[in-house]
């Protein structure tokens, strides 16, 4: 405690500088490498705080990614694959086998030797354990046949069936497979390794307190680049107002801001770092699912009865009306502070994906037409809907956006009942399709290909229902089975068009995510499309 208090004091008096470039990004700043110092990042929450690939999900990435290197990195501008720990990755045997070649001479922290194929194999095999619930654990558990390590730097993974999605699971930002040291894990045991993880990344973990903060030190001579800041502290502060206060006093150097906090940060003279087009926003119109689910609602005006073509048509009109009723420009300026707009998109179909069409425009604001459509569909008197204005992982301004949408709908004569419920209870209900037909605002992260996302969230067998269930199962399956990249892209585009035409969600727009930077931070290369930036090694 004493050491920390002294360091906090001296930290408050110093100023930080120095620059590092992440792979593919420019900039070694002119004011490079002055007193490399402490960088303090504040995040709102970090999930279960476990550092292991087979246990964690999106939420833990902002905390632990700095300690690891991904096998496959990404170009910060184009999002394409770049070599990471793996220098090449090749399929064979009709994509039943994937061979990864590893970079040589990469060292684990604290002298635990060099990275070898054994470590990668060990990491992936942890997913086989029955209590591994991490992001990709399910996939490995169900699809891996065996893994071989013919030599120190080659990993060969054999799968039970053809899989094109394998590399994606090892990529930066999207994948979860951070390689750990087998030697370390086996020598100290899981609990200790979880409290003090070892990786090959540009920062190494020094100490920390669960739920409070973690301190990292830059690894000198790292194969990527040595980070500009000698020390990195990641703190957890749940209250956004408190984070902002910390930014203004200089106690915190980087924190995510949104909405009014963004305005306040700017007024306070803080610079803003923006990840453009990181999230797609839409309102999930729950009720569009399969008959075996509790949320199934053929009587709901926006869902319709699958057996009755007219009902389906009317439902589509209602959904379009719900889209047209929302004044999106007001949301862009009032809530998003113009950091985002009506970039055309289809659900999970980002502009960088192949086959993206500029025709997929966000429906305009046309309340008159909306009223007419409602009347045509036989609902001139309106109807009742339930909404949950909660803070979603990516859509942190969910409550405000949902309220704005609700107010717009109420002008159409729709009765909106607000039923606030936190992620912790609402999320599981969503998975079980038992939300009692409650809508919510959703912000999406990108996947390597739209269909990888669709398989999880628009498929009746998928874990989630984030748009609808069931209507496009066959098309999704067919696309997933298509191993030819060109043909798959065509199928994906066709399905993307269908999803767009169906107005299954209320499209709001694409939003950038913003961070406020303290005075000590000079540059931080922005990454396209990444809602949870973790490249603190590139801050300077």
Q: Which residues inside 179-208 make contact with another protein, applying CB under 8 A?
A: 191, 194
162 binds another protein (CB under 8 A): no
260 binds another protein (CB under 8 A): yes
419 binds another protein (CB under 8 A): yes
Q: Which of 105, 220, 424, 474 binds another protein (CB under 8 A)?
A: 424
291 binds another protein (CB under 8 A): no
Sites for another protein among residues 388-417 (CB under 8 A): 389, 400, 403-404, 406-407, 410
Number of residues that bind another protein (CB under 8 A): 77
Nearer to another protein, 336 or 360 (CB): 336
The burial of 169, by beta-carbon neighbours within 10 Å (0-12 exposed, 13-18 middle, 19 or more buried), is given as buried
Helix (H, G, I), strand (E, B) or coil at 185: helix
Smallest separation, CB 365 to another protein (Å): 12
Nearer to another protein, 111 or 211 (CB): 211
Nearer to another protein, 22 or 53 (CB): 53
Residue 286's nearest CA partner among 306, 276, 274, 300 is 300
Q: Which of 240, 287, 398, 526 binds another protein (CB under 8 A)?
A: 240
266 binds another protein (CB under 8 A): no
Nearer to another protein, 296 or 360 (CB): 296
Sites for another protein among residues 2-21 (CB under 8 A): 4-5, 8-9
| DSSP one-letter string for 169-182 | GGBTTT-------H
Q: Which of 89, 261, 282, 345 binds another protein (CB under 8 A)?
A: 261
Cβ-count burial 246-273 (b if 16+ within 10 Å, e if not): bbbebbbbbbbbbbbbbebbeeeebeeb
The sign one gets for the Cα dihedral 132, 133, 139, 143 is: positive
Smallest separation, CB 395 to another protein (Å): 16
User: Is the separation of the CB atoms in 399 and 389 below 8 Å?
Assistant: yes
Q: How far, in Å, CA of 511 to CA of 392, rounded?
A: 14
Largest Cα–Cα separation, the chain: 72
H helices present in 268-422, as ranges: 309-324, 328-334, 367-376, 398-410
Sites for another protein among residues 115-134 (CB under 8 A): 130-131, 133-134
Q: How far, in Å, CA of 450 to CA of 529, rounded?
A: 13
Binding string, residues 69-108; x marks residues near another protein by CB under 8 A: ----------------------------------------
Sites for another protein among residues 318-347 (CB under 8 A): 327, 330-331, 333-335
Smallest separation, CB 413 to another protein (Å): 13
Smallest separation, CB 103 to another protein (Å): 28
Nearer to another protein, 223 or 464 (CB): 464
Give, in order, the Cα–Cα distances in Å from 218 to each of 34, 109, 192, 407, 482.
Answer: 15, 11, 21, 49, 43
Q: Give the length of the chain.
A: 540
**How are beta strands 231-236 and 213-218 bridged, if at all?**
antiparallel
């Amino acid at each position: 405690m004493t050491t920390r208090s002294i360091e906090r004091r001296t930290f408050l008096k110093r100023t930080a500088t120095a620059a590092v470039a992440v792979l593919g990004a420019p900039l070694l700043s002119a004011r490079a490498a002055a007193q490399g110092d402490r960088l303090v990042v504040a995040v709102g929450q970090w999930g279960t705080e476990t550092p292991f690939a087979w246990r964690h999900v999106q939420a833990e990435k902002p905390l632990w990614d700095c300690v690891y290197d991904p096998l496959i990195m990404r170009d910060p501008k184009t999002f394409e694959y770049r070599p990471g720990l793996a220098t090449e990755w090749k399929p064979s045997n009709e994509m039943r086998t994937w061979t990864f070649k590893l970079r040589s001479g990469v060292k684990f922290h604290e002298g635990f030797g060099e990275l070898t194929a054994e470590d990668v194999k060990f990491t992936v095999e942890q997913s086989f354990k029955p209590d591994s619930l991490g992001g990709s654990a399910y996939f490995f558990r169900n699809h891996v046949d065996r893994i071989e390590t013919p030599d120190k730097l080659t990993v060969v993974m054999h799968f039970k069936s053809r899989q094109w999605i394998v590399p994606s699971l090892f990529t930066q930002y999207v994948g979860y497979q951070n390689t750990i040291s087998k030697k370390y894990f086996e020598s100290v045991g899981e609990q200790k390794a979880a409290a003090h993880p070892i990786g090959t990344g540009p920062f190494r973990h020094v100490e920390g307190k669960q739920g409070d903060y973690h301190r990292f030190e830059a690894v000198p001579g790292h194969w990527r680049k040595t980070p500009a800041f000698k020390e990195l502290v990641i703190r957890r502060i749940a209250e956004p107002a408190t984070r902002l206060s910390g930014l203004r006093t200089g106690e915190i150097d980087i924190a995510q801001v949104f909405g009014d906090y963004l305005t306040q940060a700017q007024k306070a003279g803080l610079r803003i770092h923006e990840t453009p087009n990181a999230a797609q926003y839409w309102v999930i119109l729950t009720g569009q699912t399969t008959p075996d689910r509790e949320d199934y609602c053929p009587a709901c005006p926006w869902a319709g009865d699958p057996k009755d073509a007219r009902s389906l048509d009317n439902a589509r009109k209602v959904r379009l009306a719900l889209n047209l009723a929302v004044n999106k420009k007001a949301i862009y300026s009032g809530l998003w502070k113009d950091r985002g707009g009506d970039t055309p998109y289809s659900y999970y179909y980002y502009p960088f994906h192949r086959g993206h069409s500029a025709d997929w425009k966000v429906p305009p604001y046309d309340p008159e037409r909306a009223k007419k459509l409602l009347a045509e569909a036989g609902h001139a008197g309106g109807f009742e809907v339930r909404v949950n204005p909660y803070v979603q992982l990516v859509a942190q301004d969910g409550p405000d956006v949902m309220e704005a949408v609700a107010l717009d709908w109420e002008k159409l004569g729709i009765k909106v009942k607000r039923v606030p419920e936190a992620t912790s209870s609402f999320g599981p209900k969503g998975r079980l399709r038992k939300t009692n037909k409650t809508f919510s605002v959703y912000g999406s992260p990108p996947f390597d290909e739209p269909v990888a996302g669709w398989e999880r969230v628009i498929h009746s067998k998928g874990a989630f229902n984030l748009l609808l269930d069931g209507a496009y199962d066959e098309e999704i399956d067919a696309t997933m089975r298509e191993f030819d990249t060109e043909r798959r892209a065509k199928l994906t585009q066709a399905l993307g068009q269908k999803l767009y035409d169906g107005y299954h969600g209320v499209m709001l727009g694409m939003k950038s995510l913003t961070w406020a930077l303290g005075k000590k931070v000079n540059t931080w290369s922005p990454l396209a499309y990444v809602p949870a930036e973790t490249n603190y090694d590139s801050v300077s």
